[in-house]
Every structure is written in structure tokens, then in C-alpha cells.
Structure 1
Amino acid sequence: MGRGRGGAGGLPIAEHQHIRYNPLQDEWVLVSAHRMKRPWQGQVDPLPPDDVPRHDPRNPLCPGATRGNGEVNPHYEGTFLFNNDFPALQPDAPSPGPSDHPLFQAEAARGVCKVLCFHPWSDITLPLMSIPEIRAVIDTWASVTEELGSKYPWVQIFENKGAMMGCSNPHPHCQVWASSFLPDVARREERSQQAYQKQHGSPMLLEYGRQEAERRERVVLESEHWLVLVPFWAVWPFQTLLLPRRHVKRLPELSSAERDDLACIMKKLLTKYDNLFETSFPYSMGWHGAPTGPEAEADCSHWQLHAHYYPPLLRSATIRKFMVGYEMLAQSQRDLTPEQAAQRLRALPEDHYRLRPKDAS
């Protein structure tokens, strides 16, 4: 890859449409930055409510509340992990049996689904939590990955934040799904990273992080142990990739210092997200690490732990990017370059807009 403007051989890519390759997931994205100049007459979403009660006994995620299955939550004061009352995966699901035709294939899908509450308060989000509170979330992520990863080949931690991303409960939480199979995105990342290491002799994302740290065009935040950047191949407008600087395959392998540093850089990133449009920024995020389970390959050295952040907002707190039409039927398309997105995020303050003095400009 060249070292010209945008890292693409000298083409002034902020001015011309072009396609970029995503080597991690083996797909392409169309970049059409000039489309940001067009007037918007599409859907405008409502602003998220800012009057969420700190504790609502009717909210099934609150301490002491009764959930849909009749269980009563403990009066937890930190994180709270429990089995999802309406799981998409169950450990004892039956096998569908053999197929009678290659066009009609089905296989068994078994697993466990859990919910992790980050904090006992409903009116708080990760960027407004303290560093020790975020560190507690990270420790729980690591421990649940280790627990479920001892049995299942894939453990997917993900957070859907905001109603725009389909989250029906404002209480700060995420989900953990462990499955008896590798999901499609995990399979693509497995193949791509394995092929890259075989060809180049090093983990793809470890080298990619080094390259981005050197080029600096798409770096948003960096610390001793972590790097946050807008990927060269980003699809969502302000998508970011969170990478450890050293070679780490899975969350449980993170040292205490790396976990402390991760809590700090997560808080900074999510604060910048909220500050961009001065709203509680919606997103879907998730961790990808090497496959787990008793049958995992002994050598997963091609894997590098990473987290994807996919926020939908494009122009303001109420205007999002829609993945429809061309995106659903052809390939992904974005409306500003990753370099432009990184520059905007990089320039934002790291103090949360809600915590500034009222008379501050």
C-alpha cells in the first residue's frame, strides 16, 4: 500500500470516489465523499431521552427488579451478569438431522446467551462511568470469555447502545453469546488472518496497527498499550477499530496494566463520540478474539484481539447512515473518507459535554 494521501498511492482520495479493500473481512467499500454536499430530505430520528430515571423498579435490568421470567435481580452495586431470559441460543437444542438436498442444508446451533449490566444506575453510560468502573466491566468480559470459551468455539461480546441500534432498554448493558459454531464474520476473519500470516509471516492486525501508528492519518487516540483508528476500509461514517499494541489473541490474556489502559482509552473514545454531536452516541460494538473451545487450533498466532465500533450517525444527532439499496444489493458505500472522520474525532475534546460548566461555550 502506498504512502500517498490517504495511504493509496498519491490519489487525492478526499475528492474522488473510489473503492477500498478490507483485507480482514475480504470485502470492498465504495467511498463517495462528495455525497456529503447533497441536501438531506430523508428521515430525521428523534433525540434520545435525557430524563432516564436512575432507578425504575419496572425496569428488568435494575437492581432489585423482577425480570420477565419471574427472577428478582440482586441489589448489585457493580457489574451484574446473568443468563438471558429470552436466549437466541440454548445449550440443549436438538439437531435438525441430515438434509435431503444440497440446497437445503441445516446444522445444529447450540450455545448460551448472557446479559451483563455495567452499572446499577440506568441514567449512566460507559463514557460517564469512572475508570475503575469501566475496568470492572473489562474484567468481567475477560472472565466470561474464559468461562464460556472453555466449552464453546466462539464467544461474542457485543453492545447495542441506543434505540437507533435496536436497544430497547436504556440501562447500560451488553450481551455475551457463546455458540457451537463460528459465525460468518468470524470465519472470514479467521481465513483472512490465517492467509495473511502464511504469506507475510506476521499477524495482519499487528502489522496494520504498526502501519497506522506510523502514517497517523486515521489515528484517533493512542496510549501505551492501545490504538484507536478509523480503518482504511471503514464502512460506517465514524467507525473505529480498537487494537492492542502488542500481540494479544484473546481478552483473558490482557495484563492488569493493559486493562487499566483499555478502560482509559475506551472512556476517551466514547466521550469523543458523545461530543461529536453532543448526544448519547448510538453504536454497535463487539470484541473479536481467536476462536476458543477444547477443539480450537493450538496455533492461533495469526489472530490479533480487536474491537469494532459501528456508529450509524452521519450528519447530526438525528440523521444517520442507512445501509439500504446499493449497500444491501451490491456493496457497502460511505459518504466521507475515513481520513475525514478520523480528523473530526481526533479534534474533539476528551471532557464530556455533559460535565462541562453550564456557562462554557
Structure 2
Amino acid sequence: MDAPEFDPTEHQHRRYNPLTEEWVLVSPHRLKRPWSGQVEKPPEEVIPPHDPKNPLCPGATRANGKVNPNYDGVFVFENDFSALLKSGPEPAPPAHPLMQSASANGTCRVICFHPRSDLTLPVMEMADVRRVVDEWANQTVDLGKTYDWVQIFENKGKVMGCSNPHPHCQIWACSFLPTYPQKSDNSQRKYFKEHGRPMLMDYISLELEKKERIVAENDHWLVVVPYWAVWPYETMLLPKRHVLRLPDLTDEERNSLAAIMKILLTKYDNMFECSFPYSMGWHGAPTGPRMTEDNSHWQLHALYYPPLLRSATVKKFMVGFEMLAQAQRDITAEQVAEKLRNLPETHYRMKK
């Protein structure tokens, strides 16, 4: 009997992530298994536009006693509980190669996107989102003068550990290159050396050609579900032009970025008609002293990692095989891209 022809939507297989040089197990046949868990939509959380007890609101008093200004746009401040401090004692040389320590200096900041707590990026005005983009670029310039890595990231939703219902993100600037950026730097550098082109520029060309995993695009930006995605609704946001860092974006590219972010995040919210949780972050070429190096192998990109799987209440957990052996997913990147692509670009809250 002839062996069945491989079908990526039916048969288990592995996919390779060239950025991290890791594999993900794809098991699409598991979607056929019965599901008896919760699928109902949770009630909408009512968030007031302003809460004087919320430490991120204008005029509120934070835990350290500092009072926020009555800001009316983007507001940035030093994190009151910073994971990285600007200086500290140097660890002693390792007594054994199995027990190594190294210095880790840096600084952490918080960016409030808007004075109103009840707004998120997909329902903000375009001009407000553009101000966030500009502040990301400004902070990269400022912190990048000193630090090797400037990590901008947003944790949205309680399930992602966000304790304050107010639109904001964080920046952790490091005196070192963290693990995942280091992996990405190594893999992109190796690819550039072998092929003479940035890895992700070649990847953009492939995605534009195949059009199987594209969620949204405009003149300057592309949103795809990466071929090697791990999280069910994971996406990658890429500029179509070769760009190293956020500050390198032109005025037009920043406007286009604000527009496509609103489209992507609206589609996310429309998936289960909820404020879709995620962790996202920007990866660009290293900064600080490393800016003097040739970073042509880098391409700026943002990564979105949402935890939801089947509904607003059913989450994907990395457990068992995923924790002990290898990442695994049940739905293919192509199937997810089609679902996201077909969702409306008008936010569900705007229809009511």
C-alpha cells in the first residue's frame, strides 16, 4: 500500500525557527479531539476612564510617594520596582565553570500610552498610536546611547501578569545582550555571512510570494503568522524596507506602523470579542557600544505572543512535553493566518 501523501494540515511534522535555531512540533490532527471545556465569552470588564487609586493614572500617587503629572498624552517614568539598577557590585570570578555569575546593570522605564485607563491601542485614535510609536523610537535613542540592548515590551491583560488596567508598556535597557536577542543576533549574522542578505528580508520576500501566512499588510509593513510560530495566534510585524532600529523609521513608515498595529490588534480583539491578551516586544539591532559594529544582518521586527487557544477563556499553557522536550502546537500557522486575515478590521465594540 502506498504511503499517504504528506498534508501539513493533517499530519504531524516539525518546523524550524531560523532565528532561535529551535524546532516546534506541529500536530494538526489533535484539533479533531473532542473538547468539553469552557468556551463561553467572559463578561466585559468595566474599567473607568480615570481611577485616582490606579498608580498609572494622571495625578495619581505611586507606591514610592511620587505623584504623576496630569499628563494628556504619553507619559514616561522610571519603574518604581526596577528589575535592573544602573550600578551594582561586580560578582566574584567563578569558582567553577558550572557556577558562573556576571554583572547585569541597566534601567527600567514605564510608558503610559494614554491618560484614559479604559482605552487600548486598537481603540485609540490613530494620532495617539503614532505618539506611542514616536516615544518608542525616542526611548531607543536615549537608552541606546548607553545600553547594549533596549527591550520594549507590552504585557496586555491580567493573564499576562498585567496588574494595572491602564494602557502601558515597559522598557528594560541592559548592559548585556539577553539570551533571545543573542540567539537572534548569532543566527542572522550567520545567515548574512552565508547568503549576503539579511535573513528576515529573504523571509519577507518568501511570505509576499506565497501569501499563505499574511494577516495584514500595507505599503510599508507586513504582519504574518511565522512559519515556525509556537503560540496559537502568534504574529510577527516587519517593515518591508531594510530597517535596523525603530528610530530609523521614516515619518511615513511610522504612520503606516500605527495603522497596521490598529488593524492587527483589532483583529485580535475580534477573534473572541474580548480585549485579547498578549506579550509583545520589539527586536532590532543592538545599541550602545555595539552600534559601532556592522549590524547589516539585522532586520527590525515585533513579536506578538497571545496565550488564547479556543476561546476567550481557554488558554494555551506550556506544560509537559513543551517544558521538558520541545515546543508544540495543534493548529498550523497557515490555518491561523487565514482565520485572522478574514476577521473584520472594525473593532467589535464599535458595532454596538
| TM, length-normalised to structure 2 | 0.96
Please tell me the residue identity of whatever aligns with 1:351.
Answer: T
Q: Does 1:197 align with 2:203?
A: no
Distance apart, 1:173 and its partner CA? 0.3
Distance apart, 1:45 and its partner CA? 9.8
Per the alignment, residue 131 of structure 2 pairs with: 136
Alignment match of 1:187 (pick from 174, 182, 199): 182
Provide the rounded CA distance (Å) in 1 between the counterparts of 2:90 and 2:128.
Answer: 41
Q: Residue by residue, what CA displacement relative to the aligned partner does 1:281-333 show, whole Å, maximum 9, x if unpaired?
A: 00000000000002444210000000000001110010011111111100100
Alignment match of 1:308 (pick from 278, 303, 308): 303
Distance apart, 1:263 and its partner CA? 0.2
The alpha-carbon distance between structure 1 residues 216 and 332, as it changes in their structure 2 partners (threshold 3 A), is: same
Please tell me the residue identity of whatever aligns with 1:172.
Answer: P
Provide the rounded CA distance (Å) in 2 between the counterparts of 1:286 and 1:318.
Answer: 24
**Other structure's SS at 1:170 match:** coil
**Contact 1:226–1:245 (CA<8 Å) still a contact in 2?**
yes
Provide the rounded CA distance (Å) in 2 between the counterparts of 1:42 and 1:167.
Answer: 25
In the alignment of these two chains, the number of paired residues is 348
Sequence identity of aligned pairs in percent? 64
Q: Does 1:167 align with 2:165?
A: no
Per the alignment, residue 4 of structure 1 pairs with: none
Please tell me the residue identity of whatever aligns with 2:283.
Answer: H
Provide the rounded CA distance (Å) in 2 between the counterparts of 1:282 and 1:48.
Answer: 15
Give structure 2 stretches of 5+ with no counterpart.
none
Alignment match of 2:52 (pick from 43, 53, 57): 57
Provide the rounded CA distance (Å) in 1 between the counterparts of 2:37 and 2:93.
Answer: 47
**Contact 1:48–1:280 (CA<8 Å) still a contact in 2?**
no
Please tell me the residue identity of whatever aligns with 1:58.
Answer: K
Per the alignment, residue 26 of structure 2 pairs with: 31
**Contact 1:48–1:162 (CA<8 Å) still a contact in 2?**
no
Per the alignment, residue 71 of structure 1 pairs with: 66
Q: CA RMSD in A?
A: 1.4
Q: Does 1:240 align with 2:235?
A: yes
Provide the rounded CA distance (Å) in 2 between the counterparts of 1:335 and 1:48.
Answer: 27
Distance apart, 1:97 and its partner CA? 1.5
Distance apart, 1:11 and its partner CA? 3.7
Alignment match of 1:207 (pick from 202, 211, 214): 202
Provide the rounded CA distance (Å) in 2 between the counterparts of 1:179 and 1:104.
Answer: 22
Provide the rounded CA distance (Å) in 1 between the counterparts of 2:145 and 2:257.
Answer: 24
**Contact 2:145–2:287 (CA<8 Å) still a contact in 1?**
yes
| TM, length-normalised to structure 1 | 0.94
Alignment match of 1:19 (pick from 7, 11, 14): 14
**Contact 2:39–2:312 (CA<8 Å) still a contact in 1?**
no
The alpha-carbon distance between structure 1 residues 181 and 46, as it changes in their structure 2 partners (threshold 3 A), is: farther
**Other structure's SS at 1:294 match:** helix
Distance apart, 1:41 and its partner CA? 5.0
Q: Does 1:178 align with 2:167?
A: no
**Contact 2:39–2:310 (CA<8 Å) still a contact in 1?**
no
Runs of 4+ aligned structure 1 residues displaced above 3 Å come to 40-49
The alpha-carbon distance between structure 1 residues 285 and 91, as it changes in their structure 2 partners (threshold 3 A), is: same
**Contact 2:150–2:171 (CA<8 Å) still a contact in 1?**
yes
Distance apart, 1:42 and its partner CA? 5.8
1:1-361 to structure 2, matched below 5 A, reads: 11-41=6-36, 47=42, 49-356=44-351, 358=352
Q: Residue by residue, what CA displacement relative to the aligned partner does 1:63-113 show, whole Å, maximum 9, x if unpaired?
A: 000001000000000000000000000001211121111111000000000
Distance apart, 1:237 and its partner CA? 0.3
